[in-house]
Amino acid sequence: MQISGWKRIQRAKPIVLDPGLYLLKKFDLSTTPERRELPTSFKLYTGSAWIMLTKSFLEYCIWGWDNLPRTLLMYYVNFISSPEGYFHTVICNSDEFQGTAVGHDLHYIAWDYPAKQHPLTLSMKDFNNMVKSGAPFARKFPKEDKVLDRIDRELLHRSEGRFIPGAWCNGSFEGGADPCLSRQEDSVLEPGPGAERLRGLMKKVLSWDYRNGSCSTLSYDQTKRDWYVPKSKG
């Protein structure tokens, strides 16, 4: 989505000095009291730091036959949290690739309403919503939380200290035995209930109605994980 709200003020406008670009050690970013204007030759977009990129798009970013990727790379050197904006801005300003964007990172993430800068911590109360979402990834979890044990037990069928059993494990569970001690061909894959849930999510995010929100003027509701038309300020 196009950058707006607090991200526009706190990430796009500060003039950033990153000592890590010039020194061997990592240091905190420094900002100046001055603020810069937003660019007029391209629009700024933002999204998740977790992304999947196609080979053809990466070749475009590397070769940059119209110089847009390099121009934006130099701009995002002076930007806070650039992984949440660089590729999004390149793809949404490119006539060749903007129609290929899918605005979903395949994560289940719980947010306050309205959404704040950081997501909520997941726990047992989020388990059912997490499963129903169909997302293959989720964050963030407290260390050693009971919900992680429940995911292992009910979704992955993984016992403590063992691998997740797959279709290549042809041993027996009898008496608490490890079925993966006996294995068949490791290329055998059998979709389970989780694959069907993922199929439902992919059908949604690849639909034209959903993809039409990416690179548009629509806003994104983090809590509902869907696009909506922002209210007019007038």
Report the candidate in 53, 139, 128 with the shortest Cα–Cα distance to residue 90. Answer: 53
The CA-based dihedral angle spanning residues 66, 68, 74, 76, taken in that order and rounded to the nearest 10 degrees: -160
Neighbouring residues of 220: CB distance < 8 A, sequence distance ≥ 6: 1, 103, 213, 226, 227, 228
Report the candidate in 93, 116, 87, 84 with the shortest Cα–Cα distance to residue 11. Answer: 84
Neighbouring residues of 144: CB distance < 8 A, sequence distance ≥ 6: none
Residue 230 confidence (pLDDT): 63
Instruction: Enumerate the domain spans of the chain.
Output: 6-103+215-228, 107-206
Helices within 93-167 (DSSP H only) = 127-133, 146-150
Q: Given a cut of 70, is residue 231 above it in pLDDT?
A: no
Residue 32 confidence (pLDDT): 78
| Residue, of 20 and 154, whose pLDDT is higher | 154
DSSP per-residue codes, 216-233: SS-EEETTTTEEEPPPP-
Residue 76 confidence (pLDDT): 87
Instruction: Name the DSSP letter for residue 32.
Output: E
Q: Are 121 and 140 in contact (CB under 8 A)?
A: yes
pLDDT in tens, 34-45: 888 888 888 999
pLDDT in tens, 149-183: 999 989 988 888 887 887 778 888 787 788 888 87
CA distance 100 to 97: 5
Mean pLDDT value across the chain = 84
Q: Given a cut of 50, is residue 234 above it in pLDDT?
A: no
Residue 161 region by backbone torsions, left for phi larger than 0, else alpha for psi between -120 and 50, else beta = left
CA distance 99 to 211: 8
What is the C-alpha end-to-end distance of the chain, expressed in Å? Answer: 21
The CA-based dihedral angle spanning residues 209, 215, 221, 224, taken in that order and rounded to the nearest 10 degrees: 40
Strand partners, 224: none
Cis preceding-peptide flag for 114 (omega within 30 of 0): yes
